[in-house]
Structures are given as structure tokens and as C-alpha cells.
């Protein structure tokens, strides 16, 4: 069975990895909601970060501290602190909003990434991508319905997506200097420390049942992120990216079956507009860089468990990418 899977075309394997990843990442949202019945979302975020660190640390340090040494500690610190804010915002949003809505809003990251890339990376953006970005924000407006009956927490999720775009810019800089193992290790430590303070403020001793839910949350997040990495490493970004949007279907189904959440028509229409615009942006990005036909390498620019990915620059050396290793989890 494994040999048959390995013999499949790269894009097919990538698509299957992403479809499977979506199940685990959506299940993580379910576990967040389950744990939120007893614990504050900030405390849940801490446990996710801490358990993630416990999983990552043995792999990152198996050859000693020298393997995670960095020359840009302050940039790692800033990235980690922003990631901590993102994690708190995302977990708070998942605990209070329908799963499908939070998932749809998380896909707005490319819309924020384009203007940030122009400002900080001096990248040129042509008219078609500018229009696609504007259309994507129209989708956001449709979902949020300013002046309508919109839960203010939706703006928290949107703010998190904007911050993730900022982290992506930092990732593009750090990935030229440090190996993915280094990025993941320091991110995990800083996220744990960053979420500890808010968690202590709302601290409540979790029951054994909730501890098991938190452990399942961490495991699902780690497995899901690893599958995403393998998916983007196996196939071409433009070919496999559409399958990442299966998370919208999974989260909507889980929300309906387990929490009786029914997305309204505005959420569905807005999500479709966002998906269409971000897919078009990805397609234009693939056409702008036709010289690089290698599969993209996914590195997690978002905090642990948010399921957000960034296509690393092709300037990263293959030896540093280590695409086949399941360690690269954020």
C-alpha cells in the first residue's frame, strides 16, 4: 500500500496529503471547542503550545544545542511574540465562532500578504493581482456585513489573519539564515512563554477528561501540520493548493454535526469570494515565477495549530529544507 502511494504522481500525493491534513486540522478546532466548555481559550492555547514544544524539542535537540543556534535572536523573538498574539486570537475565535467562519477568515492571509510584500520586500504587484486582492476583501466585507448582525469576535479572527501575513514576511527573511528546525524550535519556546501569562490569569485546573482533549488537540495539530508540509513538498503549489480549501467543508460538517452550527448565506458567499480570489492570486504567482518548477516547500509561519502555511522562497537550500522530515511543525 505504501509503495503504491509512493508511485503516485507528485501532485496526486500532494492532494491526498492535503485532504488528510484538513481532517486533522478541522478536528483540532473541534477539540478547542470541547475544551472551551471548561477552560478559557487562552489556557487552551498555552497547552497547545506547550504540548507542541514537548513534541518538537526531542527532535530539534537530538544533535545538541548547536543545531538550533541562530544569528537573529531578536527577529525570532518578535516573530514568536506576534505568533503568540495570533494563537490567542485564533483560539479565542474558534471557541466563540462557527468553525466554518473562522476557517474562511483564516484564508484571507494572502490578501494581507500582498501589500506587506510590496512595503517590506519591495515586490512588484501587477494590476490583476491587485484587483484580485480587492475582490477578496469584498468577500471579507460580505462575510462581516458591517452594520449588520456580525459577532465582533469575527474581527479578532481577521486581525489574526493579518498578523499571520506579517509573520510570513519575517519567515521569508529568517528562512534565508536559519534551518526550518531552528525556526520551529524557537517558535515553540516563545509561543509557550507568550501564552503562559494570559493562561495563568484565567487558570483553572483541567479535569482528566479535558487534559485528554488537550492532548488530542496537540496531536491532531502536529499530524495535520506535518501532512500539510508533506503535501506541499510532494506537489506543485498551484496544483495542490485548491485541496487545502477542503478544510472549509470539513469544518462546516464538523460544526453542523457536533455543535449544530449552520453557516448563513452571507458566510457562504463571502467564503466563496475569498477562496476564488486567493486561488487566482496563487495562479498568478505561479505564472510570474515559471522558471522554478520544483515543488514548493511549506513551512509554518502561523502559530502552532492554526494550520497556516507559507511557501518558502526558492533561495532556501535543499539541504536546509528537509522536506521529508515530519519535524517542521509550528
Q: Give pLDDT tens digits for 144-159.
A: 876 566 788 999 999 9
Q: What is the pLDDT of residue 290?
A: 52
Q: pLDDT tens digits, residue range 159-200?
A: 999 998 888 778 777 777 787 778 888 888 999 999 999 999
Residue with the three cell numbers 515553540: 188
Average pLDDT over residues 236-246: 82
Average pLDDT over residues 262-277: 88
Average pLDDT over residues 268-292: 77
Residue 181 in domain: yes
Question: Is residue 12 over pLDDT 50?
Answer: yes
- State which H helix or E strand residue 156 sits in: helix 153-174
Q: How many CB atoms lie within 10 A of CB 240?
A: 27
Question: Is residue 121 over pLDDT 50?
Answer: yes
**Of 28, 99, 74, the residue nearest 304 (C-alpha):** 28
Question: Is residue 269 over pLDDT 60?
Answer: yes
296 or 256, greater pLDDT: 256
Q: Are 306 and 164 in contact (CB under 8 A)?
A: yes
Confidence of residue 313 (pLDDT cuts 50, 70, 90): very low
Q: What is the pLDDT of residue 197?
A: 94
Question: Is residue 201 over pLDDT 80?
Answer: yes
Number of structural domains, the chain?
1
Q: What is the pLDDT of residue 146?
A: 60
Residue 329 in domain: no
Average pLDDT over residues 37-48: 95
Q: What is the pLDDT of residue 294?
A: 47
Strands (E), 211-322: 298-299, 310-311
Q: What is the pLDDT of residue 31?
A: 96
- State which H helix or E strand residue 260 sits in: none
The alpha carbon of residue 227 and the mean position of all alpha carbons in its chain are separated, in whole angstroms, by 12
Residue 317 in domain: yes
Residue 330 in domain: no
Q: What is the pLDDT of residue 243?
A: 87
Q: What is the pLDDT of residue 303?
A: 46
For residue 68, what is the DSSP state?
Answer: G
260 or 330, greater pLDDT: 260
Cα angle at 228 between 223 and 232, to 5 degrees? 150
Residue 328 in domain: no
224 or 123, greater pLDDT: 224
Residue 75 in domain: yes
Residue 326 in domain: no
What is the domain range of residue 286? 2-321
> Residue 88 burial by CB count (10 A; 0-12/13-18/19+): exposed, middle or buried?
buried
Residue 26 in domain: yes
Q: What is the pLDDT of residue 165?
A: 84
Buried b / exposed e over 48-81, threshold 16 CB at 10 Å, is: bbbbbbebbeebbeeeeeeebebebeebbeebbe
Amino acid at each position: 500500500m505504501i509503495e503504491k502511494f509512493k508511485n503516485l504522481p507528485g501532485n496526486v500525493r500532494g492532494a491526498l496529503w492535503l485532504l488528510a491534513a484538513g481532517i486533522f486540522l478541522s478536528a483540532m478546532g473541534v477539540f478547542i471547542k470541547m475544551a472551551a466548555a471548561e477552560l478559557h481559550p487562552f489556557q487552551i492555547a498555552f497547552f497547545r503550545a506547550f504540548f507542541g514544544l514537548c513534541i518538537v524539542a526531542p527532535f530539534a535537540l537530538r544533535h545538541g544545542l548547536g543545531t538550533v543556534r541562530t544569528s537573529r535572536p531578536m527577529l525570532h523573538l518578535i516573530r514568536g511574540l506576534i505568533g503568540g498574539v495570533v494563537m490567542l486570537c485564533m483560539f479565542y475565535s474558534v471557541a466563540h465562532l462557527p468553525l466554518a467562519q473562522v476557517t474562511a477568515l483564516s484564508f484571507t492571509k494572502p490578501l494581507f500578504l500582498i501589500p506587506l510584500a510590496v512595503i517590506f520586500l519591495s515586490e512588484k504587484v501587477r494590476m490583476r493581482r491587485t484587483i484580485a486582492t480587492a475582490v477578496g476583501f469584498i468577500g471579507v466585507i460580505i462575510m462581516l456585513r458591517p452594520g449588520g448582525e456580525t459577532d465582533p469576535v469575527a474581527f479578532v479572527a481577521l486581525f489574526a489573519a493579518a498578523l499571520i501575513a506579517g509573520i510570513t514576511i519575517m519567515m521569508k527573511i529568517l528562512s534565508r539564515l536559519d534551518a526550518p528546525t531552528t525556526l520551529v524550535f524557537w517558535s515553540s519556546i516563545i509561543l509557550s512563554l507568550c501564552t503562559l501569562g494570559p493562561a495563568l490569569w484565567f487558570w483553572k485546573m483541567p479535569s482528566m477528561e479535558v487534559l485528554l482533549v488537550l492532548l488530542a488537540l496537540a496531536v491532531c495539530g502536529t499530524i495535520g501540520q506535518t501532512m500539510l508540509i508533506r503535501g506541499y513538498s510532494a506537489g506543485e503549489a498551484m496544483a495542490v493548493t485548491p485541496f487545502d480549501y477542503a478544510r472549509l467543508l470539513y469544518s462546516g460538517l464538523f460544526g453542523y454535526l457536533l455543535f449544530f452550527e449552520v453557516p448563513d448565506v452571507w458566510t457562504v458567499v463571502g467564503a466563496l469570494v475569498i477562496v476564488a480570489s486567493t486561488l487566482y492570486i496563487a495562479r498568478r504567482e505561479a505564472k510570474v515565477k515559471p522558471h522554478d518548477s520544483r515543488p514548493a516547500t511549506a513551512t509554518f509561519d502561523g502559530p502552532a495549530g492554526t494550520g497556516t502555511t507559507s511557501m518558502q522562497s526558492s533561495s532556501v537550500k535543499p539541504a536546509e529544507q528537509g522536506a521529508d522530515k515530519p519535524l517542521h511543525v509550528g
